[in-house]
Amino acid sequence: MSMKEPVLLKRVGKMKNPASVEEYRQLGGFSAIQKAIEIGKDQILNEVDTANLRGRGGAAYPAGRKWRQLFAIEEGPKYIVCNADEGEPGTFKDKVLLAEDPLSVIEGMLVAGYLFDSPEGFIYIRGEYRAIQKVFQEAIDNACAAGLLGTDILGVKGFDYTIAVVSGAGAYVCGENSALLNSVEGKAGRPRVKPPHLAEVGLYSQPTLVNNVETFACIPVILNIGGQAFLEMGTEDGGGTKLVCLSGHIKNRGTYEVPLGTPLADLLYSEEYGGGTSSGRPVKFLHLGGQSGPLAFPEQLDGLYSYQGLADKGLAVGSGAIVVLDDSVSLVEYSKKVLEFFVHESCGKCTPCRIGTTRALELLDDFASDKAKAEDIDNLDTMLANINGLSACGLGQAAGVAVRTAIKHRKEEFSSAARG
Ligand SMILES: Cc1cc2nc3c(=O)[nH]c(=O)nc-3n(C[C@H](O)[C@H](O)[C@H](O)COP(=O)(O)O)c2cc1C
Ligand code: SF4
């Protein structure tokens, strides 16, 4: 399956000034919010449901379900938050939308603002994306000047809504939705205990919607083409296209818009996408969905790039990152790098994550320095399983995923690094 006509990246590279409301309008922009107002709130929810849009931030939670949960809550005000932290290593797709089509993200947030009668939306943009923050602010200012943000938007009495840019603080954990809200509130960016869920007690303790940049950018597409057409662009278990980031030992690195359901091997080897390894050496493994995701080995690459297709192989779409590693890479060394990342990024709130990742890294160091014993492979696996099972948030719960898949599929590489 190939991507003949992109729907998410269709304006990218086509505007002189991506923050210009006029140019965005000329390329079909702001027709979705108009349509949303015409069809009404129940129909907006129906379209998002029909589209089977799975959250693009990593957890793949159905957006329609999340929106209905918030809609059912009677108390307010409700806040809309866009997660633009993009801290997942190997992931650089949100920045394309933020920098090159920011008004599509604003339009998605505007639809949510209308649906939930929200007074204010917030976008939490990764601190390192300083130049992008400026572009996004300019797009907000232009939307305000054009009457698309502010009061009585598009002539609808009482449709009063603004969007504020908040700069991220440079910590991976701040991408976790509750840590992000704490950070927006000016508190330390540490995850909250859940429940209560953010739909009930979110930003400033109010009901809150948190969605990823790409998820919001899909909303105008869904309203413009219809939920059913969006669904049919992908697969039953997840509609639409997905932005995929190819990096590592791959010839054509970059961000691609890919219909969900494309063969995974096409993403790696076809000239339209990856074009094979940059070195010409064989693929040894992939790291899918960011550091929190599993490793995939050549015998697992014959399926489809879809939520279910990957799940059937024990894999995951996650954020859309695909890091390709050729056979020059040592799995033990790679595993060390992954754990170093988690040791560095653990917020320290809970013991299994704070201490456990450090102990697991020490054990991996033993494999790398010829000090490990054969039984240490199982010790390492058990330690990582415990960290995953006992940690309070998604960071600790995913810290061991990649290394455990390495042990599961290539135990012999760890055995040959062990002494006896
Ligand atoms: C440690 C950690 C980091 C995360 N980083 C991000 C991120 O950078 N961007 C993002 O959209 N979601 C991130 N998430 C997922 C969010 O918690 C949340 O599921 C997401 O923003 C919901 O939006 P979606 O349903 O549209 O995917 C992260 C989760 C964890 C546990
Ligand atoms: S699992 Fe790790 S990152 Fe998450 S709250 Fe616990 S210590 Fe912090």
Can you give the pLDDT at residue 181?
A: 98
Ligand 1 mean position, distance from CA 72 (Å):
23
Same domain assignment for residues 173 and 130 = yes
Ligand 2 mean position, distance from CA 12 (Å):
37
Ligand 2 mean position, distance from CA 108 (Å):
31
Closest-lying ligand 1 atom to the alpha carbon of residue 215: 26
Can you give the pLDDT at residue 48?
A: 98
Coil vs helix vs strand at 221 = helix
Peptide bond just before 77 cis, omega within 30 deg: yes
Same domain assignment for residues 294 and 375 = no
Ligand 1 mean position, distance from CA 320 (Å):
12
Can you give the pLDDT at residue 3?
A: 62
Residue 350, pLDDT > 80, answer yes
Separation between Cα atoms, residue 121 and residue 161, nearest integer Å: 7
Same domain assignment for residues 58 and 111 = yes
What phi, psi does 39 have (nearest 5°)?
Answer: -80, -25
Pocket of ligand 2 (CB under 6 A): 173, 191, 346-350, 353-354, 391-393, 395-396
Beta bridge partners of 130: none
Tell me whether residue 115 is in a domain: yes
Question: Average pLDDT of 367-380?
Answer: 94
Residue 2, pLDDT > 80, answer no
Ligand 1 mean position, distance from CA 261 (Å):
23
Same domain assignment for residues 267 and 173 = no
Closest ligand (CA of 392): 2
Q: Give the residue, out of 339, 354, 384, with the most ligand 2 atoms within 8 A of its beta carbon, to mutate for a pocket test.
A: 354
Closest ligand (CA of 123): 1
Question: Average pLDDT of 108-134?
Answer: 98
Token pair of 61 as six digits = 């939670």
pLDDT tens for residues 260-306?
999 999 999 999 999 999 999 999 999 999 999 999 999 999 999 99
pLDDT tens for residues 39-93?
999 999 999 999 999 999 999 999 999 999 999 999 999 999 999 999 999 999 9
Closest-lying ligand 2 atom to the alpha carbon of residue 351: 7
Of 304, 326, 348, the residue that ends a domain is 326
Tell me whether residue 14 is in a domain: no
Same domain assignment for residues 32 and 169 = yes
Q: Report how many domains make up the chain.
A: 3
Q: Are 310 and 288 in contact (CB under 8 A)?
A: yes
Can you give the pLDDT at residue 170?
A: 86
Q: Are 268 and 324 in contact (CB under 8 A)?
A: yes
* Average per-residue pLDDT for the chain: 97
Q: Give the residue, out of 172, 351, 353, 387, with the most ligand 2 atoms within 8 A of its beta carbon, to mutate for a pocket test.
A: 353
Tell me whether residue 305 is in a domain: yes
Closest-lying ligand 2 atom to the alpha carbon of residue 354: 7
Can you give the pLDDT at residue 419?
A: 74
Same domain assignment for residues 38 and 167 = yes
Distances from the Cα of 1 to the Cα of 18, 261, 267, 311, angstroms: 29, 8, 10, 20
Q: Which residue has the higher pLDDT, 418 or 239?
A: 239
Domain that holds residue 266: 241-326
- Which residue, 232, 351, 341, is CA-closest to 287? 341
- Tell the residue nearest (CA) to atom 6 of ligand 2: 350
Residue 189, pLDDT > 60, answer yes
pLDDT tens for residues 212-259?
999 999 999 999 999 999 999 999 999 999 999 999 999 999 999 999
Separation between Cα atoms, residue 252 and residue 360, nearest integer Å: 34
Tell me whether residue 10 is in a domain: no
- Tell the residue nearest (CA) to atom 5 of ligand 1: 175
Q: Report the CATH number that the domain containing residue 407 is assigned in CATH.
A: 1.20.1440.230
Same domain assignment for residues 149 and 275 = no
For residue 325, what pLDDT band results from cuts at 50, 70 and 90? Answer: very high
Question: Average pLDDT of 190-198?
Answer: 96
For residue 414, what pLDDT band results from cuts at 50, 70 and 90? Answer: very high
Say if ligand 1 is within 6 A of residue 83 CB. Answer: yes
Can you give the pLDDT at residue 1?
A: 43
Q: Report the CATH number that the domain containing residue 190 is assigned in CATH.
A: 3.40.50.11540
Closest ligand (CA of 351): 2
Tell me whether residue 41 is in a domain: yes
Q: Are 50 and 58 in contact (CB under 8 A)?
A: no
